[in-house]
């Protein structure tokens, strides 16, 4: 399994655009949810996660087979289902770490925190546990002239029990957006667990999006800095829309599906002008790989 350190250590040379590349986005392996959802007990169910292990193993195997290799593999939150302080959290974490340990060492793994990772209302303790287990909950990195920002979206949802941590992320984000605003990058892209919105910036508040006031303020900051896209999970269905020049991409889950989508991953191709993405089922990615049209984009 590659680490973020390999991205960070190469950051200076990675600030230069060298041509098209691609990465893989996944979301919500969420070990334990499939059993919990099937039994109708999402709060205290989830004592089995064999299905999620097999699906995540399939995802890892499909990614490892891709040629050329993706620049990185990002998982947009809800790594496991058990909330902080609940049963099976330790076992789910250990099983996911074991499965992710099989990711090709030349493919860095980027991990994003979700509500099940730090709690619906995070605290300094739950965030510290995430950082110790998985790494930083917000950070930036460069790949091929593109600036990537990872946010802890629980601070945007409810930071009432850790206001100082939210303030620190807010200040850091302003500094990062300043870099993007000065157009020191080919593109800038954000990863977070909770989508800004599912379809439209004006949609009603929902469990699966950020509140109107928060989403509008953040979307304006991002578009003002020239951010091209936000990639998220949380919804366990594919969705998305646009706001001004911003593409909001909501990807379904590796694990439990709450709609009619398939267990899958999203291929994201970054060209000089555009960001092109396609959601693929795990079976499709395993059998067909990237596909000729996406490979053609990488040759431009």
Mean pLDDT by 10 residues, the chain (300 residues): 63 90 98 96 90 98 98 98 96 98 98 98 98 98 96 98 98 97 92 98 98 98 98 98 98 98 98 97 97 91
Structural domain boundaries, residue 124:
19-298
List % helix, strand, coil for the chain (3-state, nearest 5): 35, 20, 45
The pLDDT score that the predictor gives to residue 24 is: 98
Residue 165 to residues 119, 176, 274: CA-CA distances in angstroms?
A: 14, 17, 34
Question: Residue 300 has what pLDDT?
Answer: 75
77 falls within a domain: yes
Reading the block at residue 29, the tokens are 């392996």
Task: Give the per-residue pLDDT at 43.
Answer: 85
Within-domain flag for 231:
yes
Query: How far is residue 111 from each of residues 69, 133, 146, 203, 283, measured CA to CA in Å?
Result: 18, 11, 18, 28, 23
- The answer to the question of residue 147 being in a domain is yes
Residue 7 lies in a domain: no
Q: Is 283 among the domain residues? A: yes
Of 107, 116, 45, 35, the C-alpha closest to 79 is 116
Q: Is residue 3 part of a domain?
A: no
The number of domains in the chain is 1
Q: Is the pTM of this model over 0.85?
A: yes
- Bridge partners, 148 (sequence order): 141, 189
Task: Say which CATH number the domain at 262 has.
Answer: 3.60.21.10
Assigned domain for 71 exists: yes
Task: Say if 9 falls within a structural domain.
Answer: no
Under DSSP, is residue 187 helix (H, G, I), strand (E, B) or coil? strand
- Give 287-290 contacts, CB < 8 A, sequence gap 24+: 289/65, 289/66, 289/67, 290/22, 290/66
The 3-state DSSP class for residue 48 equals: coil
Please give the pLDDT value at position 2. 66
């Amino acid at each position: 399994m590659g680490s973020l350190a390999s991205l960070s250590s190469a950051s200076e040379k990675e600030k230069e655009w060298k041509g098209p590349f691609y990465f893989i986005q996944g979301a919500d392996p969420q070990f334990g949810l499939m059993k919990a959802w099937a039994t109708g007990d999402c709060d205290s169910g989830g004592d089995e996660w064999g299905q999620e292990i097999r699906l995540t193993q399939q995802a890892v195997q499909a990614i490892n087979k891709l040629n050329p290799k993706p620049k990185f593999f990002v998982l947009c939150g809800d790594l496991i289902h058990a909330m902080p302080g609940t049963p099976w959290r330790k076992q789910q974490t250990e099983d996911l770490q074991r499965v992710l340990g099989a990711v090709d060492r030349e493919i860095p793994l980027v991990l994003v925190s979700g509500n099940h990772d730090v709690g619906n209302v995070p605290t300094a303790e739950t965030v510290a546990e995430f950082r110790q287990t998985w790494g930083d909950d917000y950070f930036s990195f460069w790949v091929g002239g593109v600036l990537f920002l990872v946010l802890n979206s629980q601070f945007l949802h409810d930071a009432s029990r850790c206001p100082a941590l939210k303030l620190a992320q807010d200040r850091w984000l302003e500094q990062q957006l300043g870099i993007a605003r000065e157009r020191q990058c080919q593109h800038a892209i954000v990863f977070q667990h909770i989508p800004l919105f599912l379809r439209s910036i004006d949609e009603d508040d929902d469990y699966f999006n950020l509140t109107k006031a928060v989403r509008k303020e953040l979307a304006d900051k991002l578009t003002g800095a020239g951010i091209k896209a936000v990639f998220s999970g949380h919804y366990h269905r594919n969705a998305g829309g646009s706001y001004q020049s911003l593409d909001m991409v909501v990807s379904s889950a590796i694990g439990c599906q709450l709609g009619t989508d398939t267990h899958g991953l999203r291929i994201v191709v970054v060209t000089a002008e555009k960001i092109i993405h396609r959601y693929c089922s795990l079976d499709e990615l395993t059998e067909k790989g990237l596909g000729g049209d996406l490979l053609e984009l990488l040759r431009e």
